[in-house]
Amino acid sequence: MPRYKLTLEYDGTDLVGWQRQDSGPSVQQHLEEAVFRFCGEEVRAHAAGRTDAGVHALGQVAHVELSRDYPTDRIRDAINFYLKPAPVAVLEAERVPDDFHARFSAVGRSYLYRIVNRRARLVIGAGYAWWIPKPLNAEAMHEAAQHLVGHYDFSTFRAAECQGNTPFKTLDRLDVERQGDEILIRAAARSFLHHQVRNMVGTLKLVGEGKWTVADFIKARDACDRRAGGQTAPACGLYFTGVVYPPFLEDA
């Protein structure tokens, strides 16, 4: 059966996350239902990452299998037609080899976290960033963040309900940059633990506020205990931005 890679954008504000749940609409549900309305096939959509409720995506990747070989532009446009008015869109559809898997073939994932750091409350863009009125030192946050780049036990930044087999991960990038009133935090790794990015951001906030030194941050990392870290940053500021695959798997 032909397999198709779908690159997705979605607004997670009113969604329960990627995965189907009884508690409300999910990205997976919207996508699978749109495919059924397009071609009458009941499919299972597999994603590169299972984003939580309220988390957005600029470059999520999923794959589906269909019984017919459709032009990829038609797949993109037809699914988008039937997705309306759900806050989900297919940016691109590609035919991929049968051994391509959106989740298991991925060798890299990236996230962006947006903080709006200003005294005035956030009106336009509320729900798409974490508003923090107290001034933050982005340079200090970036300095602390570099002590997470590499291979570590990330238990301090791991959700209690995380189902990962190990707390050890290799973080390839964690950059903090101020652009005007915004502080942008970019993270990249092969894979992440549940809430890892949001917990790292919440802990970096303590450094930005001046409540913690970089040494305090390192101490929290080495404690390997969630109770040693900062708060879990709100889901609204997190964006799944992209997935990396080996080039040969993307050649049909």
Are 231 and 163 contained in the same domain? yes
What pTM does this model have? Answer: 0.95
Greater pLDDT, 22 or 61? 61
Q: What is the pLDDT of residue 66?
A: 96
Indicate the number of domains in the chain: 2
> Which is the catalytic residue, given 14, 52, 98, 99?
52
pLDDT tens for each residue of 174-211: 999 999 999 999 999 999 999 999 999 999 999 999 99
- Is residue 250 one of the residues assigned to a domain? no
CATH number at residue 36: 3.30.70.580
The verdict on residue 249 lying in a domain is no
DSSP string of 118-176, one letter each residue: -SSPP-TTTTSSEE--S---HHHHHHHHGGGSEEEE-GGGS-TT---S-SEEEEEEEEE
Look at residue 248 and tell me if it is in a domain.
no
- Asked whether residue 235 falls in the same domain as residue 197, the answer is yes
Contact 3, 251 (CB under 8 A): no
Task: Please give the Cα distance from 69 to 95 (Å, whole number).
Answer: 9
77 is catalytic: no
Three-class SS of residue 223?
A: helix
The beta strands (E) that lie in the chain are given as 3-10, 46-47, 56-65, 88-96, 108-116, 130-131, 150-153, 168-179, 182-189, 238-244
Q: Which domain holds residue 48?
A: 3-105
User: Of 105, 138, 169, which marks where a domain is finished?
Assistant: 105
Rounded to an integer, what distance in angstroms lies between the CA atom of residue 126 and that of residue 192? 26
Mean pLDDT of the chain: 96
Are 30 and 152 members of one domain? no
> Both 133 and 178 in a single domain?
yes
| Residues 193 and 223 reside in one and the same domain | yes
Residue 252: what pLDDT?
46
- pLDDT tens sequence across 49-58: 999 999 999 9
**Per-residue pLDDT tens digits for 87-96:** 999 999 999 9
Phi-psi category of 190—alpha, beta or left, where left has phi over 0 and alpha has psi -120 to 50? alpha
Whether 113 and 237 share a structural domain: yes
Question: 246 to each of 76, 115, 235, how far by Cα in Å?
Answer: 23, 32, 29
Same domain, 29 and 73: yes
Instruction: Note whether 218 and 114 are same-domain residues.
Output: yes
Tell me, yes or no, whether 95 and 116 share the same domain.
no
31 and 98 fall within a common domain: yes
Range scoring the smallest mean pLDDT among 113-117, 158-162, 215-219, 226-230: 158-162
User: Which CATH number characterizes residue 120's domain?
Assistant: 3.30.70.660
**What is the structure's pLDDT at 1?**
87
Structure tokens at 163: 């189902």
Domain closes at, from 105, 136, 153: 105
Q: Please check whether residue 227 lies inside any domain of the structure.
A: yes
Q: What is the pLDDT of residue 249?
A: 56
**133 and 98, same structural domain?**
no
**Residue 122 shares a structural domain with residue 145:** yes
